[in-house]
A and B are shown apart, each in its own frame.
Chain A
């Protein structure tokens, strides 16, 4: 039943099938943003939107403080609501677990953005200088074009702390399968039933719990709001850049 409307059966734990997954070890993340830069370079991701981000939040008060990093990207869910909700099958699930986008079909209705619990999707701006894909929804692809050639995603390749680890979780000999089997890992919003395939080791609550996700810093909020005000005028809702 869980495969209804997904175009590809969930492959997690299915023998003989691949299920690409990522583990992010937050003990190793130093917040260098190299993964964000590598992703931007790989896809010429425009200013103001991101396929992957590293959220930075400070907790506590001096002298008992801590800086928390939380890399975020599409979770390539095994049960992705964005795929089920897309009215044109522009978003689809690859049999190896990638959740991908057919740009030529996307009508920009933004239903998939509403459906995604992780805010992993975004609208590409109307004007781009070098890449002719505009005004459609985009997202992380787990670098399917690299993975299909035997490489790892650009963010994994560039991660200097080896915080990001990528592999086939169905293969018991893969590093991700071993880590998920032996370490304490968690996923984001598991209660939503999306079966996300990005696993985190030792995340902080400010990174995983939505109720704690609002900016504490006035500067962070005003920066973000200023950005959208600049790009969208007063149209914060429903706008495209």
Chain B
């Protein structure tokens, strides 16, 4: 029998997932690098990460911005969101904050090389605020779509911030470990960051799961799509590898002395890498499954 239904394109794909992940990671790497200038003594263990971290964040920014531009079907018009700025669109704010974030990193490096602490400090504060805005605006990009119910959830920006802290901490730990400068004090700070962010992610994950389980027909449809098509990514890599394993590793030493290996720099780095894998996978599933429920309508 003839039955005719158009099948609609899911507007956002892998490029957006990669962009959201990398910009979140880059922003938190810079936030750590700028920590000593922004927060003072509390972030002192990262003093020798200032230049390296800023350069890493800058390189990542330089890599992801072209990805974002090329994802547009009219890439030559990439300045339009700034030229025709729309304050109700998070994408407009993101387009504005993105170059400002790059300028803040450059200003921070300029302050270091020219030995101008005032420039360095103000660039660090501004850059840290802009860094925080990156995962928030990417979360808002999803949240404002009131018609995609999996996305239209106020916890999404908070989840993206916590996932970014995990993945940023992972990269900081990895870089410092490779450089041989992951001191005990820096390890402790990174361990705290991973513990805090995975703890927050865990509760938001549970909240999302409950929202889908007891939610509207569309939310239940999204859960159905996740369970059928993305179960490994969502539960396996997102929850178990990305949240539970890092939590066990970093909280373990507080629970039993036998878990004290969780204080070692290499183990903390491993916890961060697991968290980063989860941070990517959770974004991937949320972005893709959030579109599937409505695709046939």
Contact = CB atoms under 8 A, between A and B. Distances in A.
Interface of A: 4-5, 50, 53-58, 81, 84-90, 105-111, 113-119, 122-123, 126, 135-136, 189, 192-194, 209-211, 213-217, 219-221, 224-225, 227-228, 232, 235-241
A117 B147 contact: yes
Contacts of A240: 9, 73
Contacts of B295: 119
Nearest 4 A/B pairs, CB to CB: A238-B13, A108-B73, A5-B88, A224-B7
B48 to A, nearest CB: 39
Contacts of A86: 86, 89
A85 B12 CA distance: 15
Nearest to B76: A107
Interface of B: 1-16, 71-75, 77-78, 80-81, 83-84, 86-89, 91-92, 95, 141, 144-148, 217-218, 221, 288, 291, 293-297
A174 B16 CA distance: 46
Contact of A216 (B3, B80, B217): B3
B87 A210 contact: no
Given A90-B84, A111-B91, A135-B73, 15 more contacts: A81-B144, A85-B145, A87-B86, A107-B81, A109-B71, A113-B8, A119-B6, A123-B73, A192-B147, A210-B221, A211-B217, A217-B1, A228-B9, A232-B9, A236-B13
21 contacts: A81-B146, A84-B89, A87-B91, A87-B92, A88-B77, A88-B80, A89-B84, A107-B74, A117-B146, A117-B294, A119-B6, A119-B8, A119-B295, A136-B73, A213-B296, A215-B296, A216-B3, A219-B3, A237-B9, A237-B14, A237-B288
Contacts of A225: 7
Contacts of B72: 107-109
B141 to A, nearest CB: 7
A93 to B, nearest CB: 12
Given A53-B6, A87-B91, A214 B296 contact: yes
Q: Which of B5, B9, B12, B145 counts the most chain A CB atoms within 10 A? A: B9
Contacts of A119: 6, 8, 294-295, 297
